[in-house]
Amino acid sequence: MQKPTIRAVLSVASAAGALLLPAGDAVAAGLYFTDRGVRPSSRGGAYIAGGDDLGAIAYNPAGVYEAGTQVLFDVGLFEWRSRHTRQAIVRQVDPNTGEPTGASFVQTMDPVTGSAPVLPIPTLAASFKVDPRWVVWGGMWAPYAALSSYPEQVNGMPAPQRYALLTLEGSALALLGVGAAYAPSPEWRFGAGLGALVGTFNSRMVVSGCLPERMFCAPEDPEWDIHSELSVAPIVAPTGQLGALFVPTPRWRVGLAFQLPIWVRAPAKFRARLPAAPVFERAVQEGEDADVAFDLPWVLRAGVEARVVDDLRVELGLGVEGWSMHDDILVEPDGVVLRNVAGFPEAFRVPAVSFPRRFENSLSARLGGEYSFDLAGARWDLRAGVSLEQSAVPPEYLSVLTIDATKLTTAAGLGVHLGRWRLDASYAHAFAADVRVDPRKARLPQVSPVRANPPEDPNTINGGAYSARANVVGLGVAYTFEAAGSGVTRPAARAAAP
């Protein structure tokens, strides 16, 4: 059989990409909720040492060496639901002076349900064996995360979570990357990749035009609500990854991988519908440009896979994610001015706004594997796995914008080999722990773009109860033109070769 060329492999990948383009908005934004990829996720994400196809591009690029010349396309249908019951501290105010009386109580508001469209989240990748020791690859993949939306009204009243989020609809983020894997000996594989987070991030929420210290108003009076939309685009944020595999014997594999941080620095557009309050009756917004900055974490993964029983592979994996670098989201308006706001300067320049995140480093553990057997003239792979992930969000900073909690995910899957083809299917369910944020300990302040300095006692908007869960159904196909490793053999095998 004639050896396939790079052009042939990329032609197949381009054809798959053409089918994928209409679903461009399916790629996810925000924090991921489960491990990604059809075959890797069916093993509970335990794919650092055992990854041996193009699914490894998101886990350990060294594993891509064993893909050889291959094309992979898969999609995960991510179904997500959440529920939030907000609680807030209500402080009584003297109706004559507007001054606090010192009395306060906890108010429990109507619950809201968050949802996300069930759209295919893809992996598209191709690799080419350029030499018995070298494999190069390129691909696109996206995290399994929710484009969450919440109601604008509940029981005819403005929704209680509106100051944190209304919707992320319109966001589209993915990782694009290229890389190479090298096998200098039968025992070692090394891999590296360069890529970028690309796409757009769009969010709608409500901020407040009320300044109680200057105006006779209540912070959450709907008359003072400013409906805002922030569109961050284009995002092109570079990153990279390194990986290694050590295979001391055919029975054991040890993997280590490091994902570099992602530093997002991107232009944005800020649009607002100003309040109905008389203070803003003649007000207009001039300009809409802004700059947005935030950091996404580095990730360190390690895994050990055992193949001590014929046809059975079991891997234990550990991970550390450096979410402590995700401290704030900074939005700096560029010449955005409010004019004709009563009691303000004629031209009020909107100040920078910082959204506190205060995330923390998180740990995770994964156990999974697969068992291969012959049935009905085909080779089958039965897969299963489980993962436990610690939340990166301290409860006092949790909000509906990014609901995260300690998660237990169970998964199962099936693969069938038909000649050079492999067809995969998977299912995973993420059980997330319920979280309650004491409104007295909540730390996310209500945002006001007309306030230059934060108040000493801000109105917080994230107290209450949170719950979430997710289901993922995945389908995938891989075609291998040529397996890797034909020129990298163990010394015993070389001695026996003619």
| Residue whose entry in the numeric block shows the structure tokens 């790629």 | 27
- Phi-psi group of 102: left, alpha or beta (phi > 0 → left; psi -120 to 50 → alpha; rest → beta): left
pTM, to two decimals:
0.87
Q: Are 480 and 67 spatial neighbours (Cβ–Cβ below 8 Å)? A: yes
Give residue 353's pLDDT: 87
In 378-490, alpha helices (H): none
Reported as type and span, the H/E element at residue 14 is: helix 6-20
What is the Cα–Cα distance from 217 to 93, expressed in whole angstroms?
11
- For the four alpha carbons of 146, 13, 299 and 43, in that order, the dihedral sign comes to positive
Which of 366, 483, 463, 376 lies closest to 47 in space, CA to CA? 366
**pLDDT tens profile 266-275:** 999 989 999 9
Q: Are 123 and 137 spatial neighbours (Cβ–Cβ below 8 Å)? A: no
Give residue 216's pLDDT: 78
**pLDDT > 90: what percent of the chain?**
73
Give residue 1's pLDDT: 43
What is the distance between the terminal CA atoms of the chain, rounded to a whole angstrom? 22
Which of 141, 152, 146 lies closest to 171 in space, CA to CA? 146
Give residue 458's pLDDT: 84
Sequence-distant (6+) residues with CB within 8 A of 231 are 170, 200, 201, 202, 268, 269, 271
Sequence-distant (6+) residues with CB within 8 A of 95 are none
Q: Are 469 and 429 spatial neighbours (Cβ–Cβ below 8 Å)? A: yes
Q: Average the pLDDT over 163-187 and give the result.
A: 95
**pLDDT > 70: what percent of the chain?**
87
**pLDDT tens profile 440-477:** 999 999 988 876 566 677 889 999 999 999 999 999 99
Q: Average the pLDDT over 327-344 and give the result.
A: 91
**pLDDT tens profile 312-324:** 999 999 999 999 9
Q: Is the pLDDT of residue 251 over 80?
A: yes
Give residue 24's pLDDT: 33
Mean residue pLDDT across the chain: 88
Give residue 31's pLDDT: 56
User: Rounded to an integer, what is the distance from CA 375 to the centroid of its chain?
Assistant: 38
Q: Is the pLDDT of residue 5 over 50?
A: no
Q: Are 274 and 285 spatial neighbours (Cβ–Cβ below 8 Å)? A: yes
Which of 447, 315, 442, 478 lies closest to 383 in space, CA to CA? 315
Radius of gyration, alpha carbons of the chain: 26
Give residue 91's pLDDT: 72
Give residue 343's pLDDT: 83
Burial category of 280 from C-beta neighbours within 10 Å (exposed 0-12, middle 13-18, buried 19 and up): buried
Q: Is the pLDDT of residue 496 over 70?
A: no
- For the four alpha carbons of 139, 264, 289 and 443, in that order, the dihedral sign comes to positive
